[in-house]
Amino acid sequence: MSRLKQFALVLIAATSTGSAAIAGTGNTGTLTIGTTVASQGDTGVAVSISATTATNDVINGVTALTFSISLDSTLCSSLSNLAVVSAGRTTGNPEISGISCGSGQIMFNLSDAGGAVVVPDGAGAIMTWTFDVSGSAPTGVFPLTVSSPLAASGPVTVGLSTVAGQLTINGVTPPTNTPGASTPTNTVAPSTPTNTVAPSTPTNTVQPTTAAPTNTNTAGPSATPTNTPTNTSSPTITNTPTHTLTPSSTPTSTTTPTVTPTRTNTASPTITSTPTNTPIPTPRITGGASFGSNVVSGIGAGNANIEIRTSPGGEVLGSAVSGANGNFVVFLNRALQDEDAIQPFDTTNGLAGPIVQIDAPPAPIPAVDPIGAAVLMILLAGGLFWRLRRS
């Protein structure tokens, strides 16, 4: 037996004995939407959703929570890839039921079909809502307000107060192209005159002259040789200085202006969706269909409007929008009675589910006082005695 059914039986027992109802005394909470700043073209923008609950009952937590965030309808076409994940102390898996651009509302569901606690009592974040902002989204400050909050702790309704948040979208500053400044460069190689003087080497050439001796013989007793040497020295000095002056001055002027403008254009990505044909499931009730219950859960098509009606008669007892995975929780406008027959209707897809019959629990055996017990024993003894005599 689920915890939701167990708690429903406790409520029935308390009411039948005349004690005070378990209803919402002390069952209060606050639902708060965070404040976020984003820019055109941002992806993965996150909005924190937190709650404070104090149910003060035997369940000690919230078993079902549904609410809508209302925003400016002009933002509908600018938000994509909407998703929600659990955060903080949440033990369940939250869902987004869809967005209606006509009314600018997004519905969030958090529940367990078996009636288990999905948000224990306490304070802090319970889920995070993420989305992408298109590059052409409108800019400004957009309030995020809460509408239609419903919470339950088993069969007990939890009163919720709400705190609105806001989404600020800033524009993107266009890129600025700054060409690089050109600086002419003049390079003049300094000139250095070069004077080259070849050293002069005097050349002295001495040509020796040898005079042949002249011998004169005179007849007589003695001959006296006469040698007259003749030396002729004619030195020749040749000085050939060579002066070579070669100035080399080669100025070089180089002017190289460089202007390089750089502009980067980023193309917007194109997202192509592939349609998938999936059979639409028929809605069916899976929990809460018991005597005295005012909450019914089940499963059907995703993001569909589900109504719980009586059969026959067609009285609408309550409605809700299913999550993306088809789970739904409907809060009824009255408790279910004996011999009620209820049926789920998917008004979005025009589908009707199976009928569920509601039966009251069996009546208790009445207590027997001492006199009645004595009379019953006498009757039983008489019948037994008569039976023995006949045999």
Mean pLDDT of 217-241: 48
Taking only the tens place, the pLDDT of each residue in 252-310 is 555 555 555 566 566 565 666 665 677 899 999 999 889 989 999 999 999 999 999 99
d(CA 155, CA 157): 7
Q: What is the pLDDT of residue 136?
A: 92
Terminal alpha carbon distance of the chain: 50
Q: What is the pLDDT of residue 308?
A: 96
**239: confidence class by pLDDT, cuts 50, 70, 90:** low
Number of C-alpha atoms within 13 angstroms, CB side, residue 170?
8
The residues, ordered by sequence, that sit 6+ positions from 300 with a Cβ below 8 Å of its Cβ are 281, 282, 283, 284, 306, 322, 326, 328, 344, 346, 351, 353
Token pair of 200 as six digits: 């002069």
pLDDT at 20: 31
pLDDT band of 211, cuts 50, 70, 90: very low
Give the pLDDT confidence score for residue 388 in this predicted structure: 84
- Could you tell me if 173 and 41 are in contact, meaning their C-beta atoms sit under 8 angstroms apart? no
- 3-class secondary-structure state, position 89: coil
**Choice between 375 and 341, residue whose per-residue pLDDT is larger:** 341
Task: For Cα atoms 314, 112, 81, give the angle at the middle one, nearest 5 degrees.
Answer: 95
Lowest-confidence region among 56-60, 173-177, 377-381? 173-177
If you ran DSSP here, which 8-state letter would residue 185 be given?
-
**If we measure between CA atoms, which residue out of 129, 127, 131 comes closest to residue 43?**
131
Q: What is the pLDDT of residues 261-272, one digit of tens each?
A: 566 566 565 666
Q: What does pLDDT average to over the chain?
A: 76
Interatomic CA distance for residues 61 and 116, integer angstroms: 9
CA distances 180 to 173, 183, 184, 265, Å, are 21, 9, 13, 19
pLDDT at 35: 96
Helix (H, G, I), strand (E, B) or coil at 332: coil
pLDDT score for 25: 43
Q: What is the pLDDT of residues 62-120, one digit of tens each?
A: 888 899 999 888 888 899 999 999 999 998 888 987 676 767 889 899 888 778 899 99
> Who wins on pLDDT, 200 or 3?
200
DSSP state of 377: H
CA distances from 248 to 48, 191, 251 (A): 81, 6, 10
Distance CA 234, CA 166 (A): 123
User: In this predicted model, what pLDDT tens digit does every residue of 121-155 receive, in sequence order?
Assistant: 899 999 999 999 999 999 999 999 998 898 888 88
Residue ranges per structural domain of the chain: 21-170, 284-357
Domain at 284-357, CATH class: mainly beta
Please state, in angstroms and rounded to a whole number, the distance separating the CA atoms of residues 208 and 229. Answer: 12
Domains 21-170 and 284-357 share a fold: yes
263 backbone φψ class: left, alpha, beta (φ>0; ψ -120 to 50): beta
pLDDT exceeds 60 at position 6:
no
pLDDT tens for 29-48 read 899 999 999 999 999 999 99
Average pLDDT over residues 311-340: 92
CB 296 within 8 A of CB 155: no
CATH class, range 21-170: mainly beta
* Per-residue pLDDT at 12: 39
pLDDT above 60 (res 208): no
Higher pLDDT, residue 20 or 132: 132
Query: What is the rounded CA–CA span in Å between residue 350 and residue 307?
Result: 11
